[in-house]
């Protein structure tokens, strides 16, 4: 058994990657032969990622609040605690909080051989985000 004491401070998600205020806590970082990366991401109401892809895909698991997710060309989906979403490798997508709710999810993925976890694209427009269905908060 190996216990790693958390020495990493919560950091604010950079504006190049997110719209709105997002806080990120490291859960697991690739080390040795492991390529697993995991973070807990806390979105304030209306906050969201930019469009992005992952070389080996990504799983998000909603732990609290109400969230939204969309793959390019698909409908905006409402997410609630306990919901799990897998985005295929290279699938262009975004995810974030509902308009009126906080949302926290765990994001789990494998980095590629160069250590890259994500390829960031353009920001989700207010019009794209505004297409979200009512969350029934």
* HSE-up of residue 25 (Cα within 13 Å, Cβ side): 9
Three-class DSSP labels, 4-62: CCCCCCCEECCCCCEECCEEEEEEECCCCCCCEEEEEEEECCCCEECCEECCCCEEEEE
Looking at residue 6, what is its pLDDT?
A: 73
Indicate the CATH number for domain 11-130.
Answer: 2.60.120.10
pLDDT confidence of residue 21:
98
Tens of pLDDT, residue by residue, the chain (137 residues): 877 777 778 999 999 999 999 999 988 777 777 788 899 999 999 999 999 999 999 999 999 999 999 999 999 999 999 999 999 999 999 999 999 999 999 999 988 788 788 999 999 999 899 877 766 65
**Quick one: pLDDT at residue 118?**
93
**Structural domain spans, the chain:** 11-130
pTM above 0.85, yes or no: yes
pLDDT at res. 117:
87
């Amino acid at each position: 058994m190996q216990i790693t004491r958390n020495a990493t401070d919560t950091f604010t998600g950079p504006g190049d990657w997110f719209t709105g205020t997002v806080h990120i806590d490291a859960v697991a970082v690739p080390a040795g032969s492991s390529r697993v990366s995991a973070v807990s991401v806390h979105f304030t109401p209306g906050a969201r990622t930019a469009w992005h892809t992952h070389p080996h895909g990504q799983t998000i698991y909603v732990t609290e609040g109400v969230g939204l997710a969309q793959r390019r060309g698909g409908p905006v989906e409402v997410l609630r605690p306990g919901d799990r979403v897998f985005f295929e490798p290279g699938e262009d997508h975004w995810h974030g909080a509902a308009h009126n709710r906080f949302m926290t999810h765990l994001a789990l993925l494998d980095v590629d051989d160069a250590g890259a976890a994500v390829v960031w694209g353009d920001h989700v427009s207010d019009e794209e985000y505004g297409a979200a269905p009512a969350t029934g908060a």
